Amino acid sequence: MNRRLFLTLTAAASALGLRPARAESFEVTLSEAEWRKKLTEMQFYVLREEGTERAGTSPLNHESRKGTFFCAGCDLAAFSSETKYDSGTGWPSFWQPLPDAVRTKADPGLFGSRTEVHCRRCGGHFGHVFDDGPQPTGKRYCMNGAALVFRAG
């Protein structure tokens, strides 16, 4: 395969949303059938296929009670309500995850590279992190509400 063909195929795969399989291993692993049985259609699309819900559609956008946001896939505590803020983007946003809750990886695309955020225990896709958030971290963890479950308390 020559370089031009490789670059063309890579660009086409990226445009179609095709991504290589994760090399990372996780504590919680289920078969595709088990994930489909456990999750709603939207949760499966977001968590397992790295999809994105439509902006403004998650009830978690307006969640303002004290509590914790957990991974919808494996129930790992991921974000505290104390770090949630209204970013105006249409997705639940946080300026910091809970300790040892998430991992990140480069997410290259046609319009530049982003940093993908996923659950460190099951590998479920949460969203992306950007460097335009509030202090004290300056980060905006822009998460899909379908990837999270909120519990007050």
Which SS3 state, helix, strand or coil, does residue 27 take? coil
Q: Tell me: the pLDDT tens digits for 107-143?
A: 998 878 999 999 999 999 999 999 999 999 999 999 9
Residue-level pLDDT at 23? 62
Residue-level pLDDT at 52? 97
Model confidence at 7, pLDDT cuts 50, 70, 90, reads very low
Residue-level pLDDT at 4? 53
Please give the class, per CATH, of domain 28-152: mainly beta
Question: CA–CA separation, 46 vs 108, rounded Å?
Answer: 17
Distances (CA, A) of 61 to 72, 112, 137: 16, 26, 21
Distances (CA, A) of 32 to 22, 83, 89, 134: 14, 32, 31, 37
Residue-level pLDDT at 109? 83
Q: Which of 71, 74, 119, 142 is catalytic?
A: 142
Mean pLDDT to the nearest integer, 63-92 = 98
Q: Is the dihedral of CA 56, 112, 49, 125 positive or negative?
A: negative
Q: In the annotation, is 71 catalytic? A: no
Q: Tell me: the pLDDT tens digits for 22-32?
A: 567 999 999 99
- Of all residues in the chain, what percent carry a pLDDT higher than 70? 85
Reference 137, options 95, 104, 103, 98; nearest CA is 95
Mean pLDDT value across the chain:
89
Reference 103, options 120, 78, 123; nearest CA is 120
Residue-level pLDDT at 56? 97
- Of all residues in the chain, what percent carry a pLDDT higher than 90? 80
Question: CA–CA separation, 66 vs 20, rounded Å?
Answer: 38
Residue-level pLDDT at 6? 44
Give the strands of the sheet with 102-109, arranged side by side: 84-85, 93-94, 140-143, 125-130, 112-119, 102-109
Domain locations in the chain? 28-152
Q: pTM of the entire structure?
A: 0.84
